[in-house]
Amino acid sequence: MFTKIRKRDGREVPFDDSKITDAIFQAARAVGGEDRELAVSLTLQVLRALKQKYNGQIFGVEDVQDVVEKVLIENGHARTAKAYILYRDKRTRIREAKTELMDVVEDIIRETDRDNANVGNSPSAKMLQIASAASRNYYLNRLLDEDYSLAHRRGDIHIHDLDFYATTINCLQIPLDDLLREGFDNGHGYIRPPKRPASATALAAIILQSSQNDMFGGQSFPFFDKQMAPFIDGNSEDEVYQAMEAFVYNLNSMHSRAGSQVPFSSINLGTDTSEAGRKITRNLLLAYEAGLGKGENPIFPNVIFRLKKGVNFNPEDPNYDLFKLAVRVASKRLNPTFSFMDSSFNKDYGDQVAYMGCRTRVMANRRGPEETARRGNLSFTTINLPRLAIKAERNLKKFYQLLDEITELVINQLYHRFKVQCRLRVKDIPFVMGQGLYMGSEDLKPDDSIEPAIVNGTLSVGMIGLAETLVALTGYHHGQNKDSQELGLEIVKHIKEKVDEACERFDLNYTFLATPAEGLAGRFVKLDKKEFGIIPGVTDREYYTNSFHIPVYYPISMFDKVRLEGPYHKFFNAGHISYVELASPPKDNPQAVESLLRHMAECDMGYAGINYPVDFCCGCNLLGVFNDPECPRCGSTNIRRVRRITGYLSTVDRFNDGKVAELRDRVPHS
């Protein structure tokens, strides 16, 4: 019937219909079928469809495969069709892998990708990105099950930090006090306990650096005030200030993390009422307020100030003065952000819950003590929620069916990654596991599996774009419509229940995360726009809205935004954050900031912050908000513009295109 077919490289070769039969038969065998005659019969239908469609014209290999899929589905062979699709995808991936990798490397050599705003454009950053591209390519094509790989590639899910899939784990709340009290070895010899404040903070920075080099995510001190207190007791205010200033300087200048990044660091403080603890909190905040050497805004550490009634929340509380200082600093420097220990989901733990700047929260534990310190998140994967809503075509029953399927896929993929991580040995993560920093690693030997330790970690299912999801399902997002708000809460509650079921099934700490999306926010919408076109309110921008947030472009009062977002926090036990956006630093109105924080507490938030522009002229050191490209005082265009991105601070020049678009769309909340 046909004599020639066009190959993918453009060559025309003799047509052989037995290859179609072989492909159908192999797909059928993959799902338990053994009927060669049926494969021949289906091949004849494929040939008839090709004749009808192309009528003597030359067609390509991809055209034939499209028709095969259609014939299989139309004849009721859905399972065979799926196997054929997966086989076809695998062959395509193997064929394209080398070309794709070379294209990525070529792009990186020109300029580092901007999936992470903490990564620079230095030679080491480019080397990291090339290695990352090669690693992602390997995992997608060789290690991952085809269902997971395909779902990630087409944008149903996003496997975060895919380049580290089999080499390490995410993040850690570090037991700083143990390391400072007992000393430690970071690979080149024993470091003895410090005797002066400056030595203690210098070692604290080195500990963050050493832990960071073992992991791909953030590093945090869960109780910086309490953990550091024994090492400054009896020292003068000036000595402690100098030590804290050096600590801030170090964390903004130690470009030692892979990719020429500084360590992604967070510190939690505010509830230690001892004089030493108060002195640490006070001087750390004052050092952060002063800024870097010329007054520049520090980027790290992320400072998280704990709020708790009876400790610092009310005027009669012993640390209320520190709360007021934290408000003053946050009104000038964007940090600290604030965590609420009296929220419905934190209060059972007293003041023991710690967060990270990217919003990560680790607390409950099925396999050991319910403590924050010495634990962290192992990995997380995010669901493309708007895509499910688009596919459902406003049919809620279909939406929940799709949601259950993709949530189950993510749960299983996280378990697969956990089992891969269990193959790692203590010596593969030498500082974190070898020093016994991770809960359960204390008695492990260098060649032991890290599984006894990481069972204490968390596996997180994430989601993005609730606002766009609600628009696709109802026509309105949750800032616009009460019914949409109720549906939004119902959706996240539904996912949380599925995640909780996974905890029981696997006896592991599955948690639900309000995803901090950077490159992902643009990646998902780009893929969905290509597949589904431009849908107003859904795919008509360059990004999806982060997690459960009300869209940044929607005009709403700050108190209404907090009231609507607050009820979501309790469902996201792996981490959550809310912000309000201001037009300028509120440093002249600390009372308004304090009132806002009290409203956040009333609305049951767990973690929150305030956003506004912070611009700094590198020519004359002017700090302010510059609406023009040049400095209003000296005319320099060398402006350092600091903004918050997914929980932490960065300069705008490191934002990716999606985040630049989101930043451009942000409107101040009245």
Preceding peptide of 632 cis, ω within 30°: no
> Distance between CA 179 and CA 183 in Å, rounded?
5
On whether residue 221 sits in a domain, the answer given is: yes
Contact 338, 600 (CB under 8 A): yes
Neighbours of 187 (CB within 10 A): 9
Tell whether 201 and 77 lie within a shared domain: no
Length of the chain: 670
Range(s) of the domain holding residue 218 = 172-349
Which amino acid is located at 75 in the chain?
N
pLDDT profile of the chain (670 residues), mean per 10? 81 89 87 86 92 88 89 89 78 62 60 50 68 81 90 96 95 97 90 96 96 94 97 94 98 72 92 98 98 95 98 98 98 98 98 94 97 97 98 98 98 98 97 96 97 98 98 98 98 98 98 88 93 97 95 97 98 97 95 97 98 96 95 96 88 84 92
Q: What's residue 248's pLDDT?
A: 98
**SS3 of 174, please?**
coil
- DSSP 3-state of 428: helix
Helix axis angle for 275-290 and 237-251, nearest 10°, is: 50
Which token pair is 352? 């023991």
Q: Let me know if residue 245 belongs to a domain.
A: yes
Q: Are 236 and 338 members of one domain? A: yes
Residue-level pLDDT at 115: 52
Nearest to 83 by CA among 26, 125, 133, 36: 26
Distance CA 263, CA 278 (A): 25
**DSSP calls for 333-360:** HS--EEEETTSTTTGGGTT---B-TT-B
Q: What one-character DSSP code corresponds to residue 568?
A: G
DSSP 33-52: ---HHHHHHHHHHHHHHHHH
Distances (CA, A) of 492 to 16, 18, 287, 512, 595: 52, 50, 40, 9, 28
Residue 442: inside a domain? no
Q: Which of 3, 27, 28 is nearest to 14 (CA)?
A: 3
Residues 191 and 340 in one domain: yes
Look up residue 391 and give its amino acid: K
Q: Which of 363, 386, 369, 322 is nearest to 517 (CA)?
A: 386
Q: Which string of DSSP letters, residue by residue, matches 243-295?
A: HHHHHHHHHTT-TTBTTTBPP-EEEEES---SHHHHHHHHHHHHHHHH-STTS
- CB burial of 350-369 (b: ≥16 within 10 Å; e: otherwise) equals ebbbbbbbbbbbbbebeeee
From 306, 327, 349, the end of a domain falls on 349
Q: Is there a single domain that holds both residue 311 and residue 196? A: yes
Q: At 442, list the tokens.
A: 């204390």
- 177 & 320 share domain: yes
The interaxial angle of helices 519-532 and 657-665, nearest 10 deg, is 90
Please, what is the end-to-end C-alpha distance for the chain in angstroms? 71
CB atoms within 10 A of CB 604: 17
Q: Of all helices (H) and strands (E), which one includes residue 487?
A: helix 482-506
Domain final residue pick, 32, 67, 82: 82
Task: Give yes or no: residues 58 and 191 share one domain.
Answer: no
Predicted local distance difference test score (pLDDT) of residue 62: 85
13 located within any domain: yes
Evaluate whether residue 122 is within a structural domain: no
Could you give phi then psi for residue 181, rounded to 5 degrees? -75, -40
| Residue 228 and residue 343 in one domain | yes
Tell me how many domains the chain contains. Answer: 2
Residue 196 to residue 232: CA distance in whole angstroms: 7
Q: Please give the Cα distance from 158 to 144 (Å, whole number).
A: 13
- Say if strands 302-307 and 337-340 run parallel, antiparallel, or are unpaired: parallel
Is 233 in the same domain as 333? yes
- What b-and-e string marks burial along 24-41, b requiring 16 or more CB atoms within 10 Å of the CB? bbebbeeeebeeeebbee
Nearest residue to 214 (alpha-carbon basis) of 263, 158, 160, 144? 263
**Alpha-carbon gap, residue 151 to 165, rounded angstroms:** 16
Strand order, beta sheet including 265-269: 172-173, 219-221, 265-269, 302-307, 337-340, 607-611, 578-581
For residues 58 and 207, membership in a common domain is answered with no
| Domain identity same for 66 and 210 | no
Residue 662 lies in a domain: no
Domain boundary among 82, 102, 133: 82
Cα dihedral across residues 23, 28, 31, 33: positive or negative:
negative
Q: Name the nearest CA neighbour of 101 among 120, 129, 121.
A: 129
Q: Say if 47 falls within a structural domain.
A: yes
Tell me if 222 is assigned to some domain. Answer: yes
Which residues lie closer than 8 Å to 609 by C-beta, 6 or more apart? 330, 334, 335, 337, 338, 577, 579, 644, 647
Claim to verify: residue 60 and residue 186 sit in the same structural domain: no
pLDDT for res 32: 84
C-alpha to C-alpha distances, 625 to 290, 333, 586, nearest whole angstrom = 18, 12, 12
Q: Quote the pLDDT of residue 117.
A: 46
- Chain-centroid distance, C-alpha 219: 14
Shared domain for 69 and 182, answered yes or no, is no
Instruction: Give dist(CA 138, CA 574) in Å, integer.
Output: 29
Residue 362: φ, ψ to 5°: -130, 120
